Amino acid sequence: MTVLETSQDADGHSGGSTGPTPPEVDFDTEPGRYRHWRLDVEGEVATLTLAVDESAGLVGGYDLKANSYDLGVDIELYDAVQRLRFEHPGVKAVVMTGGLERMFCAGANIRMLAQSSHAWKVNFCKFTNETRNAIEDASASSGQTWLAALNGTAAGGGYELALACDEIVLMDDGSSTVSLPEVPLLGVLPGTGGLTRVVDKRHVRKDRADVFATRSEGYRGATAVEWGLVDATVPRNRWQEEIAARARAAADASTRPGGRGVALAPLEREQTDDSLRYPYLSAALDRTARRVEITIEGPDGDPPPDAAGALDQGAGYWPFAVARALDDLVLRLRTNEPDLGTWVFRTSGDVDRVLAYDGQLRDLDESGDWFAHETVQYLKRTLKRLDVTSRSMVAVIEPGSCFGGFLLDVALACDRQYMLEGVYEDVDPDADPAVVVLTASNDGRLPMGNGLSRLASRFWGHDDGLEAARGRIGERLDARAAEEAGLVTMALDDLDLPDELRIVLEERASLSPDALTGMEANHRFVGPESMETKIFGRLTAWQNWVFVRPNASGPDGALRRYGTGRRGDYDHRRV
């Protein structure tokens, strides 16, 4: 690998250090290729064991000692979470434990963070947050209980990993502790939800949380239980028996229906220097314009006749295939193409077929079909990933579009929507004008991180507008009707739309990406706060700021000096 020539990253921040150039990241993996996790399934209980291969860091320049992790470790974890949802619908409880003696996980690898560019650190933290949210969603949405069996110390991100689980059990061996040492040791924050989950999820009193987050050695035993940092401590001689009993009890209490699983075969993807293509989705990369043109394709036939038919199609079932392709595309573009700051979304296909699939998915979910339910949840998580992506997003709705049902949520996730009134007279005067169609899928089935639908978020503070839009569910709304209903930013004819789009996209590319990221994140999440919005909006924003400050990432900062025996040299002025 090549070596960076400067300590500045691509954004000009001094937060990155001289070190190996990050590779193009591939998110494809499967259990047979795992280097860091082991997945064992026995009936209704699965066990995920973390035994990190120290020499298998995703980027050179650091060893993954003490079960510390980097992006590669988390990519495997995300894959395991997905497979436990789809390939193993009979798994009702998951035990997460460590494979090293007296060490569950030491958290994010400090050498990796110290040598990484600011952009790499931010994307790493975002993906790890999303993966932990996916663990919580497995419990909240699918009745799959996760148990953190801490058979050794859980520090920093290791404890944050445990915090994503429903229950935390710590070995009582006189040495195993839980801690969040980032503030006292590294000059940064527990950036994958630690601060938020301690008070919002574990309900630790704020004064105790303050003591805990500034005490690098953490707590163990009775204090950890009393304060709510863990649920129980168990002696080594009763460990296996107690964890097995707790996992069995969680499985017995689960409402997860089980059934025949869906194999997550390797994703079909064709990639060139300027394009990515999947079944039902394509992306054209325009690096000169710093833009990606993304087209989601509608189904090429009618939906299968019933739930068994959908299960037979498995990963090829159209709604699932769209979710999986969009999920992969978002991850790849966010990580590998940081300069492409504007994403333009289009759809292509028969809107009636889209609506047929949308209605079938909804009906099967309501009937209790596990695969339909998990597909809806996957669409929800993928759209949430889109919501928190720091890219400008624009939807273009033209003849041949199929923005209906859950596909319309893709447009509603965008920062602006432009719709053609009529047709392109010089191109296809006989085409049918574009329509958009709201369905019940847009009204709460695919909530954002704030708990609201994208429709409700759009009309926040305008209950009359929301009710009027709900009153038009099922209607085929042309450009004027969609504009009147408040579902598009502008409806323009074929003379004005191309020029307006050109001006908008050129203007967007000329603006500060830092300012746009902050602006978009503030606009997208209206209304109530949740644990998710706090993690992505409040905690992540502060962590991003801390990452570029010299107290953390400067030449004498705590991240750079960690392990040298010297503390960080701080500028003690409060900002």
User: What tokens were used for 447?
Assistant: 């909530």
pLDDT tens, position by position, 346-368: 999 999 999 999 999 999 999 99
What single-letter DSSP state applies at residue 197? I
Between 574 and 476, whose confidence is greater? Answer: 476
pLDDT recorded at residue 20: 60
Q: Is the pLDDT reported for residue 340 higher than 80?
A: yes
Instruction: Kindly tell me if the per-residue pLDDT of 227 is higher than 70.
Output: yes
What's the pLDDT score for residue 19?
52
Bridge partners (DSSP) listed for residue 167 = 147
pLDDT on residue 562: 87
- Residue 338: per-residue pLDDT: 94
CB 128 within 8 A of CB 74: yes
pLDDT at 300: 96
- The residue type of 574 is R
Residue 18 has pLDDT above 70, yes or no: no
HSE of 534, CA atoms in CB hemisphere, 13 A: 13
User: Of the spans 1-10, 111-120, 500-509, 564-573, which averages the highest pLDDT?
Assistant: 500-509
Whether the CB-CB separation of 102 and 150 falls below 8 Å is answered with: no
State what percent of residues in the chain have pLDDT above 90. 88
pLDDT at 9 over 50: no
Q: Is residue 424 over pLDDT 70? A: yes
Q: What contacts 168, CB < 8 A, 6 or more positions away?
A: 147, 148, 150, 162, 178, 229, 230, 231
Q: Which tens digits make up the pLDDT trace of 27-81?
A: 999 999 999 999 999 999 999 999 999 999 999 999 999 999 999 999 999 999 9
Average pLDDT of the segment spanning 328-336 = 97
Name residue 370's amino acid.
W
pLDDT of residue 563: 84
pLDDT for residue 155: 97
Span 211-229, mean pLDDT?
A: 97
Q: Band the pLDDT of 574: cuts 50, 70, 90.
A: confident
- CB within 8 Å of 182: residues ≥ 6 apart: 156, 188, 189, 190, 191, 194, 213
Is 199 a residue whose pLDDT tops 90? yes
Q: In the structure, how many helices (H) and strands (E) does the chain have?
A: 22, 19
Mean pLDDT of 492-515: 96
pLDDT in tens, 273-302: 999 999 999 999 999 999 999 999 999 999
Strands 37-42 and 45-50: antiparallel
The pLDDT of 145-153, averaged and rounded, is 98
Q: Which residue in this structure is represented by tokens 């399934």?
A: 41
Residue pair 561/187 in contact by the 8 Å Cβ criterion: no
Output the pLDDT for position 97. Answer: 98
Residue with tokens 């690096």: 287
Is pLDDT larger for residue 336 or for residue 7? 336
Residue 117 to residue 100: CA distance in whole angstroms: 30
Given pLDDT bands bounded at 50, 70 and 90, which one contains residue 575? confident
How far from the centroid of its chain's Cα atoms is residue 2's Cα?
29
User: pLDDT at position 402, please?
Assistant: 98
Q: Which of 541, 566, 544, 543 is nearest to 556 (CA)?
A: 566
Would you state the pLDDT for residue 272? 96
* 342 — pLDDT class (breaks 50, 70, 90): very high
314: left (phi over 0), alpha (psi -120 to 50) or beta: left
Please give the domain boundaries of the chain with CATH numbers for all domains: 31-254+547-559 (3.90.226.10), 276-520 (3.90.226.10)
Please give the structure tokens belonging to residue 467: 């009710």
For residue 575, which amino acid is it?
V
Residue 2 is predicted with a pLDDT of 25
Q: How does residue 15 score in pLDDT terms, banded at 50, 70 and 90?
A: very low
DSSP 8-state assignment for residue 339: T
Q: Does pLDDT of 5 surpass 50?
A: no
For tokens 């047929």, name the residue: 356
- Token pair recorded at residue 488: 């598009």
Q: What is the pLDDT of residue 269?
A: 97
The whole model's pTM is what?
0.94
The predicted pLDDT at position 6 comes to 26
* pLDDT surpasses 50 at 215: yes
Task: Please say if the pLDDT value at position 14 is more than 50.
Answer: no
Rounded mean pLDDT of 136-144?
96
Please name the residue ranges forming H helices in 175-317: 194-196, 206-213, 221-227, 239-253, 307-313
In the predicted model, what is the mean pLDDT of the chain? 94
What is the C-alpha to C-alpha distance for residues 567 and 488, in angstroms, rounded to an integer?
Answer: 54
Question: Mutual orientation of helices 370-387 and 318-336 as an angle, nearest 10°?
Answer: 30
